[in-house]
Structure 1
């Protein structure tokens, strides 16, 4: 008697298999932008029989636009397909002291709409109301949301963010995702800046970098092997908590290092040196003041020495090779950056290049777009960064 052999069941359902193929077509078209059906077949490895209905669906959904025939060396010119970046929209939400900034961008990172909302009520309610309102008629094309918070993020929960009223962990990501029905990424704002500079800024040509962001607090974003690293508890880069002496413990979510060397601390000293209103750009004001005031010059050297110690401490552990100065630190002029570079070079155990970040406020957007599109491209219901 001959046994009947039952073919093994595929571990991938037919629906999931189709979705994987669909995402492959979208990803390829997004990268190439304009291509023929034959080129799409070659690049995806899908047969014409499989590709034809997928392309038809994507044209109907607005992902692909049919264009006129392209140039051909031989035979009849082929009809071309063009990827439509507006078919995929993402929302970048930045939590800031007393306000929330929200931007809707397409897959090219082009901002479609922008709005700043005062944080007068619950943060989650404000996000869930602001994103759909800002997306408007484009809401069906929303593929993901990235939320940047000035604190520690793990699994979509945010803590140690006193400037926005989030000291204890709160599951922002889960609540927003449940309400909006799209993948939601929640991460530290400096991590998003680092991701943005790595994707489209001063770190686009390296695989490893450290972004040092000086603002009300001081934080670092770390990219190693092309990936943002968050640490076991999501607190990698919280360099503002570097202890200055054995008694330092931090207070109310503010670290001892950032309490002494943040933008706020510099602003207080600048006002003490030159009484008047607080300058909008304290570090730039200090650099200018230091040109004619010996006390200001001495304090600027203290700031550079402190920041160099912080950078060297990081270099000793992770050896990023390149450090990008962001926020108030990017206000340093060329001589000050050169001085900081010299201080780092004199103490670091390996060659470390110090330069300014270039994207400014746009770094968070570029990082958020990258995060949100990655979340959408997985085809999974969620992508909340965890350690």
Structure 2
């Protein structure tokens, strides 16, 4: 009888298999937050011996915390395991001229460190410095970074962000990832806001929505079928460049023709002419207040609402989002102005489109960044 030599199992394959099982336990625990070993076995399908070893290691690593016995309807109460949100930290970085801000948060979205400073010097060096200083001794728990930029982002490169000095494509994502050694996601800040509102805000109950953010410029974040849509070049949602009410060939120095006329900046400038004095810090809110006592301001508010309505209608005709969230300065509309805008939209859209205020404010970017960074970390773990 000829002996057949047994081919040794590849150590790489064993390590890969072990990591897949480890990640399945982490994912199940993260989703459930508190569960027993029996629950883990049911969720992962792993045999008891394998699960016992993995749980022991994850407790030692700080991913799981062993709690007391839980409630039981039959037999002996089971010892419960709790997922530790501090085991996975993410950095949310926002580039918004003239400031850069960085927040370190756990997987529950709880901010544990924050810093804001004036932007200056090399962007990549500044981002890395902020993240490392804030995460400090917890760096082993850092699992991902998300960077929000006021421009177009594709494959980690940023362009058309003149307010932060990024006009030509600069590979921020790759550079930061190389320096920090964790997955880095770079995206338009409005995309992150839309993702944040869907995760924890006014879009939690829908899979399709459009977030319209009015600030120095005007941008939109689009979510369809539960996913952020960026387009081939990452420029989806750059609605400020739509030539509504303006000649398409007019040059605005990197600013789109629509946002040049109807952004918060444009409204602030018009308000100064309507009500001479200081430049308003909250132009839409102050316009609404002034419209209550000035016919000229009332007329201009009607123009603003009509312009925003036409923008929403144009987008709704193409993507049918079902719900539109107003963010930034647009969220400053009072109930009467919001109802007027809703009426203008309802009269023209081909399908029902609800207009609401976004509710998270500045926290929308944080929640979106946390979701992005954790997803990127999970994807990397799954492919390693």
Do they superpose with TM above 0.5?
A: yes
Cα distance in structure 2, aligned partners of 1:299 and 1:114: 39
Q: Residue 288 of structure 1 corresponds to which residue in structure 2?
A: 289
Given that 1:191 and 1:222 are in contact with CA atoms closer than 8 Å, whether structure 2 keeps it comes out as: yes
Q: Residue 332 of structure 1 corresponds to which residue in structure 2?
A: 333
Aligned-partner SS, 1:13 = helix
Aligned-partner SS, 1:267 = helix
- Aligned length, in residue pairs: 382
Given that 2:36 and 2:78 are in contact with CA atoms closer than 8 Å, whether structure 1 keeps it comes out as: yes
Given that 2:144 and 2:377 are in contact with CA atoms closer than 8 Å, whether structure 1 keeps it comes out as: yes
Cα distance in structure 1, aligned partners of 2:251 and 2:190: 20
Shift of 1:140: 1.2
TM-score by length of 2: 0.95
Q: Residue 356 of structure 1 corresponds to which residue in structure 2?
A: 357
Segment of structure 1 superposing worse, 60-69 or 241-250: 241-250
Cα distance in structure 1, aligned partners of 2:202 and 2:109: 17
Aligned-partner SS, 1:379 = helix
Q: CA RMSD in A?
A: 2.1
Q: Residue 307 of structure 2 corresponds to which residue in structure 1?
A: 306
Cα distance in structure 1, aligned partners of 2:133 and 2:142: 12
TM-score by length of 1: 0.95
**Structure 2: runs of 5 or more not aligned:** none
Shift of 1:247: 4.0
Given that 2:23 and 2:382 are in contact with CA atoms closer than 8 Å, whether structure 1 keeps it comes out as: no
Q: Does 1:224 align with 2:224?
A: yes
1:88-103 maps to which residues of 2 (within 5 A)?
Answer: 88-103=88-103
* Compared CA separation, residues 250 and 371, structure 1 to 2 (3 A): farther
**Structure 1: runs of 5 or more not aligned:** 383-387
Aligned-partner SS, 2:211 = strand
* Per-residue Cα deviation, 1:309-331 (whole angstroms, up to 9, x for no partner): 10000011000000000000000
Cα distance in structure 2, aligned partners of 1:381 and 1:128: 25
* Per-residue Cα deviation, 1:32-53 (whole angstroms, up to 9, x for no partner): 1111111111111111111111
Shift of 1:251: 3.1
Q: Residue 315 of structure 1 corresponds to which residue in structure 2?
A: 316
1:188-207 maps to which residues of 2 (within 5 A)?
Answer: 188-207=188-207
* Compared CA separation, residues 353 and 3, structure 1 to 2 (3 A): farther
* Per-residue Cα deviation, 1:278-300 (whole angstroms, up to 9, x for no partner): 11100000000000000000000
* Compared CA separation, residues 216 and 130, structure 1 to 2 (3 A): same
Aligned-partner SS, 2:223 = strand
Aligned-partner SS, 2:135 = helix
Segment of structure 1 superposing worse, 159-168 or 76-85: 76-85
Shift of 1:73: 2.0
Shift of 1:246: 4.5
Shift of 1:76: 2.0
